[in-house]
Amino acid sequence: MCRCSSLPSLSLPSPIPAPTSRRLGIFSSNANPILVQEISCYLGLELRQIKIERFVDGGIYVQLEESVHGCDVFQVQPTCPPSNENLMELLIMIDACRRASAKNINAGIPYFGYARADKKVQGARLHRRQAGGQPHHGGRRPPRAGLRTPLGSVHRLLRHPRGPRVHSQPIILDYLASKTICPEDVVVVSPDMGGVARPRAFAKKLSDAPLAIVDKRRPGHNQAEVVHLIDDVRGKVVVMVDGMINTTENISKGAELLHKGSASCVHLQHPRGPQQ
């Protein structure tokens, strides 16, 4: 018999008291205004006013509708589809704040699409040119949520990798702890062979839970063929850990395979997706 006990619980921080100064400004773009609105509400701040329009030829026009002179500015912009459009919009917003004499400009990038496929043989230089352009446009510390790529690869990708990494693990661990799952019933699953390091680190947080792997082949970008499951998940509560979900097709095939393996429940943990 298994003695059920709750999983390790990590308390989430309480909402931050509203700042009394107008020296902090948050700007929203067109990529995900709902996310930025929730962030500003959590911080007790009002969004700064900004106008983003398009010229007839498709060019991006950005105008700040209030002063940011001497302010610490935060711009939250994921590179979700259309990725190139949103990336360029972010760079122009950064440039507008720099020209308006903002003290510090911080770019929050919840979904950084150009961090994928960064292997040497896959043309990392083009990706580096895209990502490395941020400091030259005035962006100083770009925080990124749960980067899919190993930290060493990110340092090669970015010319100035000074931004902090924001991890989603504490939120997921707190959610699993609220389910009062028996630790002996938990199995962490890696959706592919190449991303084992991330699920292994996550498994250690769950009382060193066992690790299973979905073996699959990739004939091309955003294409996957699930082959078989390595290890047994029969009657287990499965937590599948992935770094990036693009089309959900690959992760759906993995979940189907786990259900065929008689897993009792499948949870998915991923920090970033194109709709963020």
State residue 126's pLDDT score: 44
Q: Is the dihedral of CA 202, 249, 185, 6 positive or negative?
A: positive
Residue 273 contacts residue 242 (beta carbons within 8 Å): no
Residue 136: other Cβ atoms inside 10 A:
12
State residue 165's pLDDT score: 62
State residue 211's pLDDT score: 94
Q: Which is it for strands 50-54 and 60-64: parallel, antiparallel or unpaired?
A: antiparallel
Strand, helix or coil for residue 225:
strand
State residue 219's pLDDT score: 67
Consecutive 10-residue averages of pLDDT for the chain (276 residues): 50 50 83 91 91 93 93 90 90 92 89 63 46 51 49 45 65 84 90 84 90 81 73 91 76 86 84 51
Best CA proximity match to 159, nearest among 123, 120, 122, 133: 133
The separation between the first and the last C-alpha atoms of the chain, rounded to the nearest angstrom, is: 42
- CATH class belonging to 24-166: alpha beta
Q: Which residue has the tokens 């959590």?
A: 42
- Token pair of 164 as six digits: 């902090």
Q: Tell me how far apart the alpha carbons of residues 265 and 238 are, in angstroms, rounded to a whole number.
A: 6
Phi and psi torsions of 204, nearest 5°: -65, -30
In angstroms and rounded to an integer, the radius of gyration of the C-alpha atoms of the chain is: 21
Please tell me the CATH code under which domain 169-269 is placed.
3.40.50.2020
State residue 51's pLDDT score: 94
Q: 15 preceded by cis ω (within 30°)? A: no
| AA letter at 171 | I
Q: Which residue has the tokens 């773009």?
A: 29
Q: Which residue has the tokens 């580096």?
A: 128
State residue 79's pLDDT score: 85
pTM of the model: 0.62
Q: How many CA atoms lie within 13 A of 147 on its CB side?
A: 23
State residue 262's pLDDT score: 87
- Sequence ranges of the chain with CATH classification 3.40.50.2020: 24-166, 169-269
